Amino acid sequence: FYRVLESPNGRVQLRLVDHQAAHGIDLLPPSGVVAFPGEPPIAVLRYDIGGTGIGGTSTAILEMGPKIVAIDPRTSGIQQDAYVDDVDGDGKYELLVVNDGWAHYFSMASAAGPEFWVVFDRVNGKFEPACRKHRRAYRTWIASNLKTAEAPGLPPPDRAEFYASALLYAAPIGGIA
């Protein structure tokens, strides 16, 4: 990352402020905007670290203030994938982090298994779990998994994975109903 500086004589200079390295790096939305009011803009980086599926990527949320600081929480499960999005359409961004702690449920050789999103709100400069505050999003994810699980012709292991994902989405909000 470079900071753009303009000298008194009007020349533009770039100053290296942070270096990121990986096999491949994507800059994801909403990078470059103030996602959390009263805080510096953020950068959402997706690193390609090799392999297939969710285990082959890692995500970092960086605060682009005077110092570049990683602000993403690592609080439950093996969280490797994350997004910053407005999950409920209220105009405020939330952090969604995949909890793939059940990823090897069906096969120890790969990341085949259920996973679910954990939703965090940004409160006083910290991320706090906010799953129950976003029940509508969770109910949508539950319904989507149940609909997929009931699709005709779906192989039994895949059907079980979608049912398990629906149950995992239900747990943080206190049930399916």
- The model carries a pTM of 0.76
* Mean pLDDT in residue range 22-47: 82
Beta bridge partners of 32: none
**Per-residue pLDDT reduced to its tens digit, 50-84:** 655 555 667 788 888 888 888 876 644 444 678 89
**Per-residue pLDDT reduced to its tens digit, 99-158:** 777 766 665 445 566 778 889 999 998 889 999 999 999 999 999 999 999 999 998 888
- The angle subtended at Cα 143 by Cα 108 and Cα 154, nearest 5°, is 50
Q: What single letter denotes the amino acid at residue 42?
A: I
Minimal CA–CA distance to 79: which of 61, 56, 98, 102? 98
Pick 21 or 46 by higher pLDDT.
46
Query: Can you give the pLDDT at residue 52?
Result: 55
Given a cut of 50, whether residue 89 has pLDDT beyond it is yes
